[in-house]
Structure 1
Amino acid sequence: MTTLNDQLPEPTAIRVDLGAIFVSMELSRSSWVVTSLLPGGGEKMSRHSVPGGDVVALMARFSALQEKARRRMGREFPIIVIQEAGLDGFWIHRALEKEGIESHVVDPASIATSRRRRRAKTDKLDGETLVRTLLAFKRGEPRVCAMVHAPNPDEEDRRRIGRERKVLTGERIAHVNRIKGLLFAQGVTGYEPLHRDRRDRLEELRTGDGRPLPRHIKAQVLRELDRLELVIAQVRAIEAERDAMLTQDGDATCADAASMLLKLKGIGAEGAAILCSECLWRPFDNRRQVAAYAGLAPTPWQSGSVSREQGVSKAGNPRLRSTMIQLSWLWLQHQPRSALARWFQERVARNGGRLRKPAIVALARKLLIALWKYVTMGVVIEGAVMRAA
């Protein structure tokens, strides 16, 4: 008698015979956990550990995996490696590619995980998940993960100027606030540490009750001024290096993009440098990818009859996103007759003058896409005013 179970086809295993050795790497300071899946071994994965940062030991482990696969299958197999983007940067990825190994860097936030409140997480489970993700990616499954577009060393190095300037600017603000706080506790207001006469003005200050500044408070403020002046000098040096990069960079593409951006009113040297180093060096297929990279893509929620918008995802480059918000406010000030500025004004007017902050985020997305089209395709923004030559 034939039963229902006899009629059902036997479950098939996941296809792993893709003609390669699939390897995932879990990186840490002390050790690297290597999880591998060899051809002819079914779905069984093996794990090995090598000292952290030891590329020679890693290559030896890869050679051992290839030798094992050759003995098992009778031929050579290439190695395909995946690792998560993290604090190690891209030097391991470049070292693997230099050895002729196909390497992929994945955005860890893009990998699907269990939605249980408490999910198990170990190096073993993470390594196996990465290998299965790599298998699905190589099989061509859509939306299985988001691979990171690794910059070359020159592109990565250009980012340092804008990022260091932001750090130095934060330190400058901290020194200014600390000096003002020390003086305010003595009843002194109106002192500006960023003015050139800051040291002369300090000698003239009196406390709120008419006394000269106490000796130790004055000494502390002077030491803060020493550190502040060092930061100011470093900011000037960084800005000079940034200006030289925008005009005399060895990469003609970056210099051309910067010169086009600087022709638009409302975009200065810092905004052009951030756009070139953080965004416009990357190839994008469409405007959705541009908005998603900046973390300005919408996040819909739709289930049955329920459909609402959750706002922007913010799953992107935070430096680019904050810069675009600042450029959007500047765009409204310097380009009030452009089509984008008129769209913003009409949008806010329909809401009775409210919801300016959500509208500025939408304007930032539109402005970034418009600037991308302007630089890559030469599409001039409608109504935009250029600087005089």
Structure 2
Amino acid sequence: MDTPGMTRSGQDVKVVGSLYVAFELGDRSWKLCLGDGIRSPSRCTVAAGDTAAVLKAIARAKVRCRLPDDAPVRSCYEAGRDGFWLHRWASAQRISNLVVDPASIEVSRRARRAKTDRLDADRLLSMLMRYHAGERRLWAIARIPSPEQEDQRRVHRELGRLRQERTAHSNRVRSLLVLHNLRTEHIGGRTWGRWWAEHAAQLLPDLRAEIDRELERLALVARQIRTLETMQAHQVRNGEQPAIAGLARLAGIGTGSAWTLVKELFGWRRFGNRRELAGCLGLAPTPYASGTSEVEQGISKAGNKRVRWLMVELAWSWLRFQPASELSKWFNQRFGAAGKRSRRIGIVALARRLAIAIWRYLEHGEFPAGAKLKPVTAAEL
């Protein structure tokens, strides 16, 4: 998410002369709140995805607010299930649209607060006007990827879901077998067929049939995982993904991890400094200071959770495969002799430093100090 800078102090920015539209998106219907900053807002409900009805509502609102047909329209909606297609459609209609991070929207701190779609739309409209009046830090705005950049995320995200399904099917089969004191470690592995042929007769017919169906689903998921992994490796070997290939050459970073880092973060985002990168990952500190009370609440966890989790895993891998690097030496000197809790805290700091090193490597060509490359295999020659 982006947080634009504040406007100049005392700057006079008017919100009149434009139509403001707030979308409250639902599965079946959308709530629209429309106003010009002078008159009380009007509200309407349209069927979800009915863009023609949206244009009609905007035209009626312009007539009501006595605005010309070519008056600028500014809109916003919360990032969610509908993604970015609505933003692209609005841009094609010459509507200045914002996609807002829902977690950044201010809410009442009362013990019980009223919440309805109408109230949410009214609040969005009010904040939209305040944003265009100069309160740029009012909320966080999502950076919109191009359709191609968004499509490139599909492969590794599908792989993540398929691996979760594979684990779920394996665990289910293992649990069903334990009901009859049958235990094995490798569900669906090379030795599974022989083991299952020897022990399947011990089970009743319905249970055996249920396990067979689970095994069919497991085999399908495993086949799809192999297909996607082979496609990734093929593109990297053929030079179609040079950034991923270069990153995967570093010891401790595999092709799948490099693919996720580039497609989720480094391939399309541009960062001005290391603080912006840490904030995007959710690895920035969150101090709490009020009066004489000062508490450090840990990392914010407000960024891209996929990359944040991956960076923590890569930090552990970096210590194993890059022991001579400056990052590993720093960690061992600072946290090596400490206990488990301190090492878990320190690994987050290492993950942040590693993310910065990877960013500098991909963006500016700065090789991580003391790091080594993987040996070149015969297949790569």
Same fold (TM over 0.5): yes
Which residue in 1 is equivalent to 2:62? 66
Equivalent residue runs for 1:100-115 within 5 Å:
100-115=94-109
Deviation of 1:73 (Å) = 5.4
Please list every run of 5 or more consecutive structure 2 residues that lacks an aligned counterpart in the other structure. 1-11, 377-381
Q: Per-residue deviation at 1:111?
A: 1.6
Q: Identify the structure with bigger relative contact order (alpha carbons < 8 Å, sequence gap 6+).
A: 2
Cα 1:73–1:227 change in 2 (3 A) is closer
Give the corresponding residue for 2:15: 17
- Counterpart code for 2:261: L
The residue number in structure 2 matching 1:188 is 182
Residues of 1 paired with 2:194 and 2:282: CA distance? 47
**Structural RMSD (CA):** 2.3
The DSSP-based 3-state class of the residue aligned with 1:351 is: coil
The correspondence for 1:177, drawn from 171, 190, 204, is 171
Q: 1:17 to 1:226 in 2, by over 3 A?
A: closer
Deviation of 1:145 (Å): 0.7
Distance (whole Å) between structure 2 residues aligned to residue 74 and residue 63 of structure 1:
10
Contact 1:16 1:135 in 2 (8 A): no
- Given the alignment of the two structures, is residue 230 of structure 1 paired with residue 220 of structure 2, yes or no? yes
Deviation at 1:193, TM superposition (A): 1.5
3-state SS, counterpart of residue 355 of structure 1: helix
Q: Which sits farther off after the overlay, 73-82 or 155-164? A: 73-82
Q: 1:153 aligns with which of 147, 152, 175?
A: 147
Structure-2 change in CA distance of 1:237 and 1:125 (3 Å): same
Query: Within 2, Cα distance between the matches of 1:292 and 1:173?
Result: 32
Deviations 1:173-225 (A, max 9, x none): 1121222222223222335223223112212238xxxx844444443333322
Q: Hey, what does 1:294 align to over in structure 2?
A: 281
The runs of at least 4 aligned residues of structure 1 exceeding 6 Å deviation read none
Q: Larger radius of gyration, structure 1 or 2?
A: 1
Q: Which residue of 2 aligns with 1:162?
A: 156
Aligned to 1:3: none
Alignment of 1:331-350 (within 5 A): 331-349=318-336
In structure 1, the residue corresponding to 2:298 is in which secondary structure? strand
- Stretch deviating more after TM superposition (287-296 or 214-223): 214-223
Aligned match of 1:137 in 111, 115, 131?
Answer: 131
Per the alignment, in what secondary structure is the counterpart of residue 153 of structure 2? Answer: helix
Residue 338 of structure 2 is matched in structure 1 by: 351
Letter in 1 for 2:56: A
Offset, 1:110 = 0.7
Superposed displacement of residue 260, structure 1: 2.1
Q: 2:232 aligns with which of 208, 217, 242?
A: 242
**Cα distance per residue 1:46-100 (max 9 Å; x no partner):** 212222210111112222333444xx35674110111111111111111111122
SS of equivalent residue, structure 2 residue 362: helix
Q: Does 1:321 align with 2:317?
A: no
1:282 corresponds to which residue? 269
2:245: which partner in 1?
Answer: 259
Say whether residues 1:377 and 2:364 are aligned partners: yes
Give, in angstroms, the shift of residue 351 of structure 1.
Answer: 3.1
After superposition, the Cα gap between the structure-2 partners of 1:190 and 1:48, relative to the gap in structure 1 and judged at 3 Å, is closer
SS of corresponding position for 2:218: helix
Normalising to structure 2: TM-score of the pair?
Answer: 0.88
8 Å contact kept, 2:17–2:67: no
Give me the whole-angstrom Cα distance separating, in 1, the residues matched to 2:321 and 2:16. 56
Equivalent position to 1:44, from 25, 40, 43: 40
Deviates more, 1:194-203 or 1:153-162: 194-203
What SS does the aligned partner of 1:302 have? strand
More deviation in 58-67 or 348-357? 348-357
Tell me which amino acid in the other structure corresponds to 2:225.
V
Q: Which residue of 2 aligns with 1:4?
A: none
Look up the SS of the partner of 1:386 in the other structure: coil
Q: Distance between the aligned counterparts of 1:219 and 1:312, measured in 2?
A: 48
Percent identity over the alignment is 39
Q: Structure 1 residue 125: deviation in Å?
A: 2.4
Aligned residues: 364
Classify 1:222/1:30 alpha carbon distance in 2 versus 1 (closer, same or farther; 3 Å).
Answer: closer
User: Aligned partners of 2:168 and 2:99: how far apart in 1?
Assistant: 36
Kindly state the Cα deviation for residue 149 of structure 1 after the two structures are TM-superposed: 0.7
Contact 1:335-1:385 within 8 A present in 2 as well? yes
What is the SS of the residue equivalent to 2:23?
Answer: strand
Kept in 2: contact 1:35–1:48 (CA 8 A): yes
